[in-house]
Structure 1
Amino acid sequence: MTYVGESRPALRQPEPERGEASFKDVVAAYVGLTKPRVIELLLLTTVPVMFFAARGVPALGLVVATVVGGALSAGSASTFNCVYDRDIDEQMRRTRRRALPRHVVTPRAALVFATVQAVLSTAVLAYWVNPLSAVLSVLANAFYVLGYTMLLKRRTTQNIVWGGIAGCFPALIGWTAVTGELSWVPIVLFAVVFFWTPPHTWALALRYREDYANVDVPMLPVVRPAAEVGRQIVLYSWVMVATSMLLWPVAGTGPVYPVAAAVLGAVFLVEAHKMWRRARGTEDLSEIQPMRLFHHSNLYLSLLFVAVALDPLLTR
């Protein structure tokens, strides 16, 4: 296993693609800068909370404005992240096909694109949703870019723990979009996403630990054995599941949410413990199978927030 600080062979630099990119390639490159799959996951923790806050179906126009503003905000943060991390993205297998490493988009153009998205997202949320949601969106963007990308990512194994706070804001934004104020209900959901983020991200980082090691990014799987990573994942998973059950008494949900949260949580814990058990016996990633837990974590969060949306619809 390679650890940060050890000598290691340099990862071969990918050859930049030559030739003039087509219009379709350029459009695809700009879309790629926004990390659409991340946007999809963030919106999945926004819209269901709006249903829960409305205790039914929220106004369509409000949902559209919140989704558009949230997508622009998340896209802006992701684009800023791509600009700042373009040096390490060019060296990592998982990221070297992005627009900036391939030189399809210039850093300056990407910065302009990110700034325009940030301005538009703030304007959309402030005008068509409410000022509080707009402020929360700006805070999430700033925390991801300044807190995680620029300050924490390359300095500490706790990078994703605290940097992941940015990804928790959509729960707050979805709630304030409907109610215009904060309460303990979205804070519980904020905490669920907070404790979900380390198991989700560390599983992915375990799969790509050599990439992170080669660019000196001290993700936990780079500086700790797989068994310790598995132990930390199990600990965070237990806290995540316990936190998810808090929504039942705090929000006074019907039976749909707590049953779904208990079943989904139990299945997730089984998967986390299985990965930990495999990691205790080997450092071979093909045997540890971290991507199995990574994909399962996506499914867990998706179904949990679907239950958040369905609970008020099915228990009227």
Structure 2
Amino acid sequence: MMKTIRLNLNHKARLIVALTTLIKVKQTLLLLASSYASYLLGGGLTAPLSKHILLLVLGFLAIASTTAVNMYFDRDIDAVMERTKHRPLAMGIFNPELTLILALTIFVLSTLLSAIYINMLFATTIVVGFLFNIVAYTMLLKRRTPFSIIAGAIAGGMPSLGGWVAATNRIDSAGLALSMLVVAWVPSHIWFLAYYRQNDYAKAKVPMLPTISDPLIAGLGIALASVFQAYSLLILVSEHVIGLL
């Protein structure tokens, strides 16, 4: 009996690990943190505790479900790349079609609840993030152009903008600047990763700037992204969202 219990526990533990991998839990929590930080900077600190909880729960579900949909469309190249071959859909741990249906259901519900309990602008950022991530980046551009990451970066910046509009119920220069900090960071992160994983991306036939061009060009792109980040910080200082130490 004890052996059976241990086997059941091991099975459940493996499923939990697979589920956290499916939603890229570290990335999901990082994006959620960017959203919540923007919410606090926008004045959300004084909001009722219930709104904080709703923002975090609905934001987590929206980001996690979008990530799971991304995993569905990328499962073939994930199976080829050394870095991603152990992801659950690539290994066949979860049924791909069932995963897609569940992820889309959770996404739709979290978006509708966000529109009802947070505000329409917050729900809109969720939809825009999904469209840029899944349609523009994953389905249309990722396998065709090294500049696909621009669409992915815009998707990555939506949680920050979402947190801001959840607090202020408006889109303004400060909210866009917070979003731009993440948008400018994403290409730098991905291009660094692609540079050190060139064989992986080449094997999967995914064109990335560091793998198909002179490293100096990718370096120029990273430098340009850093300039955008600095400009975004200046906007935030001028808008008194953050202060200089």
TM value normalised by structure 2: 0.90
| Cα separation, partners in 2 of 1:141 and 1:81, compared to 1, 3 Å | same
C-alpha displacement at 1:253, in angstroms?
4.0
C-alpha displacement at 1:76, in angstroms?
1.2
Q: Would the aligned equivalents of 2:62 and 2:107 in 1 still touch at CA under 8 Å?
A: yes
C-alpha displacement at 1:55, in angstroms?
6.9
Aligned partner (choices 62, 67, 72) of residue 78 of structure 1: 67
Q: Distance in 1 between matches of 2:68 and 2:225?
A: 29
Q: Is 1:258 matched with 2:240?
A: no
CA-based RMSD of the aligned residues comes to 1.9
Q: What 5-or-longer segments of structure 2 have no aligned partner?
A: 1-7
Q: Distance in 2 between matches of 1:115 and 1:154?
A: 23
Q: Which runs of 4+ in 1 moved over 4 A?
A: none
Number of aligned residues: 237
TM value normalised by structure 1: 0.70
Q: Is 1:230 matched with 2:219?
A: yes
Counterpart mapping for 1:252-291 below 5 A: 252-253=240-241, 257-259=243-245
Bigger share in helix = 2
C-alpha displacement at 1:57, in angstroms?
4.2
Q: Distance in 1 between matches of 2:105 and 2:45?
A: 34
Q: Distance in 2 between matches of 1:82 and 1:93?
A: 15
Identical-residue share of aligned pairs (%): 32
C-alpha displacement at 1:160, in angstroms?
0.5
| Cα separation, partners in 2 of 1:57 and 1:210, compared to 1, 3 Å | farther
Structure 1 SS opposite 2:89: coil
| Cα separation, partners in 2 of 1:176 and 1:217, compared to 1, 3 Å | same
Q: What 5-or-longer segments of structure 1 have no aligned partner?
A: 1-19, 260-316
Structure 2 SS opposite 1:96: coil
Q: Would the aligned equivalents of 2:133 and 2:151 in 1 still touch at CA under 8 Å?
A: no
Residue identity opposite 1:240 in structure 2:
Q
Which residue of structure 1 aligns with residue 117 of structure 2? 128
Q: Distance in 1 between matches of 2:129 and 2:36?
A: 17
Q: Distance in 2 between matches of 1:136 and 1:229?
A: 29
Q: Distance in 2 between matches of 1:213 and 1:189?
A: 33
Residue identity opposite 2:183 in structure 1:
F
C-alpha displacement at 1:127, in angstroms?
2.5
Counterpart mapping for 1:83-98 below 5 A: 83-98=72-87
Which residue of structure 2 aligns with residue 296 of structure 1? none
| Cα separation, partners in 2 of 1:112 and 1:188, compared to 1, 3 Å | same
Aligned partner (choices 123, 131, 134) of residue 145 of structure 1: 134
Residue identity opposite 1:258 in structure 2:
L
Q: Would the aligned equivalents of 1:72 and 1:120 in 2 still touch at CA under 8 Å?
A: no
Q: Distance in 2 between matches of 1:229 and 1:143?
A: 22
Q: Is 1:101 matched with 2:87?
A: no
